[in-house]
Every structure is written in C-alpha cells, then in structure tokens.
Amino acid sequence: MVEKAPYTVLKKVDQIEIRQYPEIVLATVRKNDDDSAFGELFNYISGANVKQEKIKMTAPVITSEKIPMTAPVITKKDYMAFVMPSKYTKENIPTPTNSNVEIEVKEKRKIATIRFSGYATKRKTKRQIEKLIEKVNDNNFKTKGEPFLMRYNSPFAPGFLRRNEVAIELI
C-alpha cells in the first residue's frame, strides 16, 4: 500500500466532495508528453537526485487538464506531479539531478473533487471535468486555477479497480 496525500472531507454536495489538503511537496515535470514526464519523475524517485536516495511512490499522480470550451483560450504547459511522502519538506527533499524536475510546495488548500473509476481516457476525463464544473457552478463555489486529474493506481491495475478524481481548487 502506498502513502496517499492526506486530506479532510469538509462536506459532500451532490457528487462533489469538498476537501481540505495540508501543505504538500510535489516533484513536477512540465511537459506535453505524459510518458516522458512520468519517466523523468520515476527516475527522480529511483535515485536521480543529489543524495541518490530512493523515494517511495505515493498517490495520487497529478496531471493538468484543459477546461473544455472556455474563452479566451489560455495555453499553459502541461504538467505531471508526484506527491512526495509526508516526511519530506522543501528543506529536506533531495535535489533533482534533472533540471526538468522541479520541487514545489502547494500551500494548504481547499479542493472540490468528483471520483470515477476505470481508465482515465481523455474523453472520460473531459466528461468528468464538465460535470465537476457544472456542479461547482450550480452550488456557487468560487474556483481558482485549472482543473486537474488525480490518479491513484499503478499503470498495471485493471480498469475496474482504478480510482481517479478530477478536481479544482476553491477560493
């Protein structure tokens, strides 16, 4: 069992779960290609850091997602991020040897999520994001930033066992 990013459920509204996350440390790669981003992050936790320390895999893996049908269109670089185990802080996390891997700290924040199972295909994820945005708007929640996808399982997990969530930060 891998360590999961901790959170507290504040409330449930419709299909949305409102959560409070504490400060977390992320290792992030900003690229448009999930496969190479995953590879670079995996190399980092496998010892491609100045301490040559192996870092345990955690969940979820976080990726950027586009908000469908928005105007104007603002393009930002896609990213993939691994949540670092809770024992790490900005001060004690091993420095990456690959300049594409960035260490960042996400401050304490409130997130709205919708959970879904199966493979997180682009089409399925887009539908879930549309549903999340609709429910967030229906409940007059104010958002901040772009929606993102959180995947909790190994790439080898069968689809019916996979846990995925789309999320967006709330103000």
Whole-prediction pTM value?
0.90
Positive/negative CA dihedral, 51, 57, 59, 63: positive
Q: β-pairing, 163-170 with 109-117? A: antiparallel
By three-state DSSP, how is residue 126 classified? helix
Mean pLDDT of 47-55: 98
Mean pLDDT value across the chain:
92
3-170 CATH, one of 3.10.270.10, 3.20.20.140, 3.20.80.10, 3.40.50.720: 3.20.80.10
Residue 112 has pLDDT above 60, yes or no: yes
> What are the pLDDT digits (tens) for 70-95?
434 444 568 999 999 999 999 999 99
